[in-house]
Amino acid sequence: MSAGSESVVGVIPANARLGIGFEQLQLVVTNRRIIVAHKAKKGRGGLASILILGSHGGDFADPDKPKSPLGRAKGFEHVDPEKVLTSNKDNFSISFSELISVQLDAGRESTSIAIVTGDDKFQFFTRLLQREVSSLLSEYLGSKLVTRATGW
């Protein structure tokens, strides 16, 4: 791989809360940016089915608890980040240079990820431990990465 090429270094399975329901996402971390890749939205119908029929094999799991483990480069080592970005019209990327801060709050059962840029603030939740997320991002973010243990 050439010095100027971009490579995927890991994937963080995450959720974002919506007005009603939540959205399953993957935060694809490369050596240059974070690509927010949309997977599925779970809204009012999905949440109602939990109450009536149960979890459906995890399809409508708790939004703070995505089930996939941290995907280091395994399975993504040959993925083209641009193809990930363009695979869904709602996907977007945040370059490390755009970031003002990334705050990781360790909760009892999930980790909150707050990403702040000059224009936006994004809030995600992952079942991964704070230290797993921190170890993936710290090399690229340095002092922009803040960790807290809130226990919320």
> Is 1 a domain residue?
no
The pLDDT, as a whole number, for residue 21 is 77
Is 3 within a domain?
A: no
Token reading at 15: 């959720």
pTM greater than 0.85: no
For 12-63, write each residue's pLDDT tens digit.
Answer: 999 998 877 788 999 999 999 999 999 876 665 444 444 444 443 344 444 4
Helical (H) or strand (E) element with 24: strand 22-30
In a domain, 39, yes or no: yes
Helices (H) then strands (E): counts for the chain: 3, 9
Q: Is residue 15 domain-resident?
A: yes
Count: domains in the chain: 1
Residue 67 has pLDDT above 80, yes or no: no
Q: The domain spanning residue 127 has which CATH number?
A: 2.30.29.30
Range of the domain at 87: 8-149
Can you give the length of the chain in residues? 152
Residue 93, in any domain of the structure: yes
Which residues have C-beta within 8 Å of that of residue 76, sequence separation ≥ 6? 8, 10, 11, 28
Q: Evaluate whether residue 2 is within a structural domain.
A: no
Contact in structure between 41 and 23 (CB atoms under 8 Å): yes
Strands 33-42 and 22-30: antiparallel
The pLDDT score that the predictor gives to residue 40 is: 74
For the stretch 74-126, pLDDT in tens is 556 677 899 999 999 999 999 999 999 999 999 888 999 999 999 999 999 99
Beta-bridge mates of residue 115: 102, 122
Q: Is the pLDDT of residue 129 over 80?
A: yes
